[in-house]
Structure 1
Amino acid sequence: MTTSKERPRELVEMAWDPITRIVGSLGIYAKIDFAAREVAECYSTSSIFRGYSIFMKGKDPRDAHFITSRICGICGDNHATCSVYAQNMAYGARPPALAEWIINLGEAAEYMFDHNIYQENLVGVDFCEKMVAATNPGVLELAERTECPHAAEHGFRTIADIMRSLNPLEGEFYREALMMSRLTREMFCLMEGRHVHPSTLYPGGVGTVATVQLFTDYLTRLMRYVEFVKKVVPMHDDLFDFFYDALPGYQQVGRRRVLLGCWGSLNDPEHCDFTYQNMDDWGRRMFVTPGVVVDGNLVTNGLVDINLGIRILLGSSYYDDWAGQEPFVTHDPLGNPVDMRHPWNQHTIPRPQKRDFKDKYSWVMSPRWFDGKDLLPLDTGGGPIARLWSTALSGKVDIGYVKATGHSVQINLPRTATRPETTFEWKIPTYQGEPLSNALERDRARSYFQAYAAACALYFTERALDEVRRGRTQTWEPFEVPEEAVSCGFTEAVRGVLSHHMVIRNGRIANYHPYPPTPWNASVRDVYGVPGPYEDAVQNTPIFEENPPDAFKGIDIMRAVRSFDPCLPCGVHMYLGGGKELRKLHTPHAFGAG
């Protein structure tokens, strides 16, 4: 690689730091090669140590979901839910079916809320008229002349009209999306009492009082969201397809090898008993099917395989190794050997030190998934692309409102106030015959998954109402905390894979490790020098921005990073290697984390 000493005028050192997130402050450091029009080098950093895995030790396991929900200020309910799943396994608890439908309705509302506010009010800013005018005026000029293929569905005549609707605070669609975020938060609170730290969610079920009126209140809001999402999907299809046409080669922005992980979510209470012995079976019955997708192919959709394959490497992170420590777990409940680098056996030994990009530079470890041969740096694609891809390939979901075909996911939405019955189909993305995971396809999947979550919620509402009408209104089952147990919980946080691993000894937590999507996506170079997903996706990303180096805003890099749904920057500072600040770009305040 050409060094800054050889070509100092053609490299710009850029930093996005801090970007607040659940495991600290995310920083993206990159060097831009303007001669080659690409990113030459990238590092992902986290500057804050949180230590949940340390202070969970010795706690009453029944407090785990209340504590771990505070890991994040936006997806705390995902952590609480995952912790409850792990507790159910440890306690041998199986909640009543109605409780599971209520939890599913809460999680579906969270997906709708977070994906909506992130996609429309934060990602959308990168594609709005003002941003495009400042970075690619030629593209905006073309957008003014380009008619929208789906204008009848979303109401915008030209692509430029869509861009104007995304302008912060003043854009029509921007404001409409803000209203939808309020509705979806209300939907969550109806099910679990409080957003984002649930007050009625417990192991064994929920404390929610289930009535016909409760689900009717949820459904009236849901149908307004269904009406809205019928506009969301075709609008984003038009916008993202336009960028491919306007900027040939844009498929390479944020592109990396397809290495996707999905841990599955939304349990089916008819099959889920939370036992480890049956985990493969009830995992495959989830309404979002778990799976590991490598180069476009499904490697496994078994949760036991997924669990046993997790490895936590240290690499360039600020920790001492725990090799030589006594393992907590040598074999899983099925008798399979458990690796020392598995979360059940992890010891968190922080070692603060000065950041050095040639050595240690982040508090984020390097989670990897072992396929029996290689340690794969899986990413979540921001969540939706991995969920849809895994569900599509598995071909197991078929509930009328949604159907996995083996190569796509069909989403059927009923007639609403002003829009007819609508069917969307998310198809596995390809480019020149190869599977494609890049910035725009991650963003596109987020729109489709909003529709998917809404469709699932319609089904869950029907099932919950059926339980109430049959008089099966119990929402909680008692349990006892064992003296000894090992357990795990798997679900999908908004941004992707989420697991909680717990070891109980003498009735107390002996070891506890939550792994949300951010450590997977923001992981650093591991002990073998393999970069994490953010780093990998940004390195070698081409630059299409029209501005010269002295006015460079880095919009293509921003789109690549934001497509993963990281926590968001309140400000981006771009500077030369000598320390001179070129530009200070302020974006709307971050609503998300994780």
Structure 2
Amino acid sequence: MTTAREQNPDLVEMAWDPITRIVGSLGIYAKIDFAKKEVAECYSTSSIFRGYSIFMKGKDPRDAHFITSRICGICGDNHATCSVYAQNMAYGVRPPALAEWIINLGESAEYMFDHNLYQENLVGVDYCEKMVRETNPGVLQLAERTECPHAGEHGYRTIADIMRSLNPLEGEFYREALMMSRVTREMFCLMEGRHVHPSTLYPGGVGTVASVQLFTDYLTRLMRYVEFMKKVVPMHDDLFDFFYDALPGYENVGRRRVLLGCWGSLNDPAHCDFTYENMSDWGRKMYVTPGIVVDGRLVTDDLVDINLGIRILLGSSYYEDWHDQEPFVTHDPLGNPVDMRHPWNQHTIPRPQKRDFNDKYSWVMSPRWFDGKDLLALDTGGGPIARLWSTALSGKVDIGYVRATGHSVLITLPKSATKPEKTFEWKIPERNGELLSNALERNRARTYFQAYAAACALYFAERGLEEVRAGRTQTWEPFEVPEEAVSVGFTEAVRGVLSHHMVIKNGKIANYHPYPPTPWNASVRDTHGTPGPYEDAVQNTPIFEENPPETFKGIDIMRAVRSFDPCLPCGVHMYLGNGKELRKLHSPHAFNTA
């Protein structure tokens, strides 16, 4: 295979490593053609090996959610929830309805908390006045002259005023969002005891003591967030629409083919019995509808089909193949054959080695979804764009506060302290007749999904109160651990698809594989040479930054990567191919960590 460097020896090699929220493990290595002002080649790397699938073996399955929540210090509750779902299936236990409403309220609060913190205090910095001044001063000048179409709803007269409000630590909106993250974190703790590793979440239900006061305390904080979102949605619409107008062609930054995966989340206790045999039916009743969207078409919303189509390829990752191992599972509980590359049959055999971009270069494997013909490199778009797109196309959700129309999602936020009732409509993104899965639309969807989560939480709180007032206060159902079981949990972590596949033998865990959104989004070139979503989104991204190579920050590349919510950028090194370092920042909160 001929590389971009071989075709054009004048390409400039640049690297941003690390880019991450938790530890310094995500790196982006790119070759940039400054003459054409575009990225010619990109590699996504991860330098850390976790090994949860190895040391979960032999553990008591009842400990699974406590252990796997430690996979992440940001979305640990998503892992705990998914693990509990997998355990419920394995144990054949159905939690009381009240427990499910409480879990839904906790997960909704987590969506609100994490998306708010990331959107406003982290990715928002890429669009703040200080960053735009350093990378696109011409755009800032235009922003100073551009009045906001929705100024009456959010209070900022010009686009530049919005940008200034996003300046880290000193911006008005930046500080307001920080305060709101505290409110949403309190909401989570009310339902699940502790953030980010829940202390009251168990298979069979929750240990939370439900009362009218509990839900009242939650609703009081939720209505503050509802009021906040009535400002946030129109503000971000104005900001993101401006970039399309200010920089013609910006729709191609971070753009890739529409290949979206959503595993669904927020179960309806009236339908969800956690049995694999009924998973197709209760999966479609989720308040975020599962689905795989290819080129704008909903391929399936069946969790059984989604499960059976998952394949784990090694490709350019540091592992040995397991093709000569015995399968753990040959058929699913419905009698369907299970592929050797399915997570139920995966063996994790690490083989550390020197990084080689022509061979092995990352610890991230290459999850793919097999549609019967092709192995698709699905992405989650950071979570919200896939969730909203799938839910919109399915057209199944209709709970008053939110309604899927088949082509959009309507979100109604009721009257709050100072603002009247407001309905927002997230529409499947397109421009000039073309569907868009790009940096700006991933970010826009994140804003709308915050409103979606808030609207759902209003509904869940009402249902929870109904249970308490009717005297149905049981929140846990007893269970027994079977000697053998095969199970899976499906949900949506904040930034995308999350599954936990478990095999129990002799009452102990024989195989356990959690697959959060990062392996899907950050996957490397697979066995067939197909790049992962980060790589694909950055390759061929146009460069609009006005700086020359000597002072280049790579803001368009960073916007593309960060639109996926790849976990917080804690600091970035940048260097040329000859090893000369241009910039090194140690501060985890520095605004110019591009």
TM bin, normalised by shorter chain, reads: over 0.9
Alignment pair present for 1:395 and 2:399:
no
* Deviation by residue 1:199-228 (Cα, 9 ceiling, x = unmatched): 000000000000000000000000000000
* Deviation by residue 1:251-282 (Cα, 9 ceiling, x = unmatched): 00000000000000000000000000000000
Alignment pair present for 1:321 and 2:335:
no
- 1:465 maps to 465
Alignment of 1:507-586 (within 5 A): 507-584=507-584
- 1:431 maps to 431
Distance in 2 (CA, whole Å) between partners of 1:274 and 1:3 is: 49
Segments of 5+ residues of structure 2 without an aligned counterpart are none
- 1:308 maps to 308
Please state whether the residue corresponding to 1:571 is helix, strand or coil: coil
- 2:376 maps to 376
Does the aligned pair in 1 maintain the 2:22–2:568 contact within 8 Å? no
Does the aligned pair in 2 maintain the 1:23–1:518 contact within 8 Å? no
- 1:71 maps to 71
1:23 positional shift: 9.0
* Deviation by residue 1:499-529 (Cα, 9 ceiling, x = unmatched): 0000000000000000000000000000000
Distance in 1 (CA, whole Å) between partners of 2:200 and 2:235 is: 37
- 1:483 maps to 483
Distance in 2 (CA, whole Å) between partners of 1:476 and 1:290 is: 26
Alignment pair present for 1:332 and 2:335:
no
Which amino acid in the other structure matches residue 533 of structure 1?
P
Please state whether the residue corresponding to 2:19 is helix, strand or coil: strand
Alignment of 1:93-108 (within 5 A): 93-108=93-108
1:583 positional shift: 2.7
Please state whether the residue corresponding to 2:477 is helix, strand or coil: coil
- 1:191 maps to 191
Alignment pair present for 1:170 and 2:195:
no
- Paired-residue identity, %: 89
Distance in 2 (CA, whole Å) between partners of 1:427 and 1:351 is: 45
- 1:255 maps to 255
Which amino acid in the other structure matches residue 118 of structure 1?
Y
* Deviation by residue 1:264-323 (Cα, 9 ceiling, x = unmatched): 000000000000000000000000000000001000000000000000000000000000
Distance in 2 (CA, whole Å) between partners of 1:349 and 1:165 is: 48
Please state whether the residue corresponding to 2:233 is helix, strand or coil: helix
1:571 positional shift: 1.9
Please state whether the residue corresponding to 1:369 is helix, strand or coil: strand
- 2:505 maps to 505
1:22 positional shift: 6.6
- 2:122 maps to 122
* Deviation by residue 1:95-129 (Cα, 9 ceiling, x = unmatched): 00000000000000000000000000001100000
Alignment pair present for 1:154 and 2:154:
yes
- 1:297 maps to 297
Does the aligned pair in 2 maintain the 1:119–1:443 contact within 8 Å? yes
1:2 positional shift: 7.9
Q: Evaluate the alpha carbon distance shift between residue 507 and residue 138 of structure 1 in structure 2; reply closer, same or farther with a 3 A threshold.
A: same
Distance in 2 (CA, whole Å) between partners of 1:56 and 1:348 is: 11
1:63 positional shift: 0.1
* Deviation by residue 1:426-478 (Cα, 9 ceiling, x = unmatched): 00001221211000000000000000000000000000000000000000000
1:5 positional shift: 7.5
Does the aligned pair in 2 maintain the 1:14–1:573 contact within 8 Å? no
Q: Evaluate the alpha carbon distance shift between residue 196 and residue 3 of structure 1 in structure 2; reply closer, same or farther with a 3 A threshold.
A: closer
Distance in 1 (CA, whole Å) between partners of 2:574 and 2:20 is: 17
TM-score, structure 1 length as denominator? 0.98
Does the aligned pair in 1 maintain the 2:129–2:140 contact within 8 Å? yes
Which amino acid in the other structure matches residue 179 of structure 2?
M
1:574 positional shift: 1.9
Distance in 2 (CA, whole Å) between partners of 1:585 and 1:127 is: 19
Which amino acid in the other structure matches residue 460 of structure 2?
F
Q: Evaluate the alpha carbon distance shift between residue 488 and residue 7 of structure 1 in structure 2; reply closer, same or farther with a 3 A threshold.
A: closer
Which amino acid in the other structure matches residue 27 of structure 2?
G
Distance in 2 (CA, whole Å) between partners of 1:154 and 1:72 is: 34
Q: Evaluate the alpha carbon distance shift between residue 6 and residue 475 of structure 1 in structure 2; reply closer, same or farther with a 3 A threshold.
A: closer
Distance in 1 (CA, whole Å) between partners of 2:434 and 2:586 is: 37
Does the aligned pair in 1 maintain the 2:15–2:576 contact within 8 Å? no
TM-score, structure 2 length as denominator? 0.98
Q: Evaluate the alpha carbon distance shift between residue 22 and residue 530 of structure 1 in structure 2; reply closer, same or farther with a 3 A threshold.
A: farther
Does the aligned pair in 1 maintain the 2:17–2:24 contact within 8 Å? no
Distance in 1 (CA, whole Å) between partners of 2:420 and 2:4 is: 58
Q: Evaluate the alpha carbon distance shift between residue 3 and residue 75 of structure 1 in structure 2; reply closer, same or farther with a 3 A threshold.
A: closer
Q: Evaluate the alpha carbon distance shift between residue 542 and residue 519 of structure 1 in structure 2; reply closer, same or farther with a 3 A threshold.
A: same
* Deviation by residue 1:351-376 (Cα, 9 ceiling, x = unmatched): 01000000000000000000000000
Segments of 5+ residues of structure 1 without an aligned counterpart are none
Q: Evaluate the alpha carbon distance shift between residue 556 and residue 175 of structure 1 in structure 2; reply closer, same or farther with a 3 A threshold.
A: same
Q: Which runs of 4+ in 1 moved over 4 A?
A: 1-8, 21-24, 585-588
Q: Evaluate the alpha carbon distance shift between residue 159 and residue 67 of structure 1 in structure 2; reply closer, same or farther with a 3 A threshold.
A: same
1:16 positional shift: 1.8
Greater Cα shift, 162-171 or 18-27: 18-27
1:24 positional shift: 7.1
Q: Evaluate the alpha carbon distance shift between residue 328 and residue 501 of structure 1 in structure 2; reply closer, same or farther with a 3 A threshold.
A: same
Please state whether the residue corresponding to 1:19 is helix, strand or coil: coil
Distance in 2 (CA, whole Å) between partners of 1:70 and 1:567 is: 15
Which amino acid in the other structure matches residue 119 of structure 1?
Q
Does the aligned pair in 1 maintain the 2:21–2:569 contact within 8 Å? no
Does the aligned pair in 2 maintain the 1:23–1:364 contact within 8 Å? no
- 1:231 maps to 231
Distance in 2 (CA, whole Å) between partners of 1:38 and 1:85 is: 44
Q: Evaluate the alpha carbon distance shift between residue 43 and residue 497 of structure 1 in structure 2; reply closer, same or farther with a 3 A threshold.
A: same
Please state whether the residue corresponding to 1:410 is helix, strand or coil: strand
1:12 positional shift: 2.5
- 1:419 maps to 419
- 2:43 maps to 43
Distance in 1 (CA, whole Å) between partners of 2:67 and 2:432 is: 47
Does the aligned pair in 2 maintain the 1:88–1:204 contact within 8 Å? yes
Alignment pair present for 1:284 and 2:284:
yes
Q: Evaluate the alpha carbon distance shift between residue 309 and residue 22 of structure 1 in structure 2; reply closer, same or farther with a 3 A threshold.
A: farther
1:549 positional shift: 1.2
Distance in 1 (CA, whole Å) between partners of 2:478 and 2:342 is: 31
Q: CA RMSD in A?
A: 1.4
Distance in 2 (CA, whole Å) between partners of 1:167 and 1:222 is: 26
Q: Evaluate the alpha carbon distance shift between residue 139 and residue 24 of structure 1 in structure 2; reply closer, same or farther with a 3 A threshold.
A: closer
- 2:136 maps to 136
Distance in 2 (CA, whole Å) between partners of 1:487 and 1:22 is: 29
Distance in 2 (CA, whole Å) between partners of 1:24 and 1:96 is: 41
Which amino acid in the other structure matches residue 511 of structure 1?
N
Distance in 1 (CA, whole Å) between partners of 2:415 and 2:422 is: 7
Which amino acid in the other structure matches residue 251 of structure 2?
Q
1:572 positional shift: 1.8
- 1:244 maps to 244
Distance in 2 (CA, whole Å) between partners of 1:130 and 1:65 is: 42
- 2:361 maps to 361
Please state whether the residue corresponding to 1:280 is helix, strand or coil: helix
Does the aligned pair in 2 maintain the 1:569–1:587 contact within 8 Å? no
Does the aligned pair in 1 maintain the 2:142–2:246 contact within 8 Å? yes
Distance in 1 (CA, whole Å) between partners of 2:477 and 2:314 is: 40
